[in-house]
Amino acid sequence: MDQAQPQDRVSHPFTVTNRLVLSIALPMTLAYLTTPLLGIADTAIVGQYGDAALLGGLAAGAIVFDVVFTTFNFLRSGTTGLVAQAYGQGNALEEQAVLWRALLVALAAGLLVVLLGPFVIAGGVYFMGAEPEVAAAMRAYVSIRILAAPVSLINYAILGYVLGRGEGALGLVLQFILNGTNIALSMFLALSLGWGIEGVAWGTVGGEAVGMLTGFAVLAWRFRRGPRVSLRRVFDTPQIVRMVAMNGDIMIRSFSLLAAFALFTRQGAQFGTVTLAANAILMNFFLVAGYFLDGTATAAEQLAGRAVGARYRPAFLRSLRLTVAWGFGLAIAMSLFLLLAGEALIAFITTAQDVRMAANTFLPWAALISISGVLAFQMDGVFIGATWSRDMRNTMLLSFALYLACLFFLTRSFGNHGLWAAFHILLIVRGISLFAIVPSRMRRTFAE
């Protein structure tokens, strides 16, 4: 089902400027960068115990939660798009209604994850196939951290609402409080009290809880004097169907992307341990670059969604041009930095000479991949904001099918170079195919 457009037919003009784009992009870039810092901090805390099994259990548990929370990432992005459209209409009651719908979905989904916890743990242990000590550490970590699933997903919904209103600075504050509390509690519980990996897990639970309470406090202060949305509006059937359809499309897109990463890793393993390790180091370069690109993509989500809600085509065009321009500028800067400093970074990450040599060989592929992927990042933001999720899903599936074909043929002829080329093709095709659809979707959207 393609999502219905807002019922308000009146145009609400607004001006999109570089300053407006950066007011969203810069704070959210900083906010997104706290995520890898959190992972580094947890690893460093557990690393103080000098037990490789604990580090392995932490890494395995993190992979389990990457899969679980990727499933529900739509609660952030989908909420952003729908709130942005209501904001563009000047419809504060619909903004609240979208938030409450997202919170209810988050609570229900989070409780379901908790109930399925034993199966999640068993599936993770089976998939990882780790040694008994690592599996035991993973069970201890996941069984505690999974208790925070409802709270974590509620935080997704709250952040989506905040970003839908273009409040990047508030989003940064909420993420800083959440992740900062997480790190502080993990250090205290794991190191000061000696709780080990369980302390890191409880620190995450505590950080998510503090983040949620802070978010609710902000919302309560904001809504205390304004009009209250009715239950009838919250449970409006057509709007719920619209949200479900959009969220389903985003979920399919996210799973396809996750599958592409998994296949990349699996295929790299076929070329030997050294190549696998080198690819892992280089892919981290792309993932960190992705956190920078996510900032401008978030700006695209809010501004495109706001323009669609406002039914104001000039703002949509302006937001498209500015966010793409800033995205490409940032991607080029990231590529130049990695080309110049990549070998030094590789040497810092690993002391293994064979891994260093392999990683240096394939460094140009990793350094240039942010340029190949920037249009896909930006178009994802535009399509999520405009709630053109069916097109986003379809082009992702098309790109993934082409990626599979390239993976099969190029790796046979060119080995790991072919693997990296296939990943570049996936990103390029995603970006170009989405960009090619924009004119027709824009004509239909702003003509209605």
pLDDT in tens, the chain (448 residues): 344 444 456 678 899 999 999 999 999 998 888 877 777 788 788 877 777 777 777 877 887 887 788 788 888 888 999 999 999 999 999 999 999 999 999 999 999 999 998 988 888 777 766 677 878 888 898 999 999 999 999 999 999 999 999 999 999 999 999 999 999 999 999 988 989 889 999 999 999 999 999 999 999 998 888 788 888 888 888 888 888 888 889 889 988 988 898 888 888 878 888 888 888 888 888 888 888 899 999 999 999 999 999 999 999 999 999 999 999 999 999 999 999 999 998 888 777 788 889 989 999 999 999 999 999 999 999 999 999 999 999 999 999 999 999 999 999 999 999 999 999 999 999 999 999 999 999 999 998 6
Structural tokens at position 52: 């490789």
Contacts of 79 (CB under 8 A, 6+ apart): 98, 99, 102, 156, 157, 160, 161, 164
Q: How far apart are CA 146 and CA 425, in angstroms?
A: 36
What's residue 181's pLDDT? 94
Q: At what angle do helices 389-447 and 353-385 cross, to 10 degrees?
A: 40
What's residue 259's pLDDT? 86
- 370, 307, 300, 310: which is closest to 338 by C-alpha? 370
Q: How far apart are CA 424 and CA 362, in angstroms?
A: 13
Structural tokens at position 292: 């920078």
Cα dihedral sign for 310, 430, 286, 40? Answer: positive
Instruction: Read off the pLDDT of residues 24-51 as tens digits, 9 standing for 90 and up.
Output: 999 999 888 887 777 778 878 887 777 7
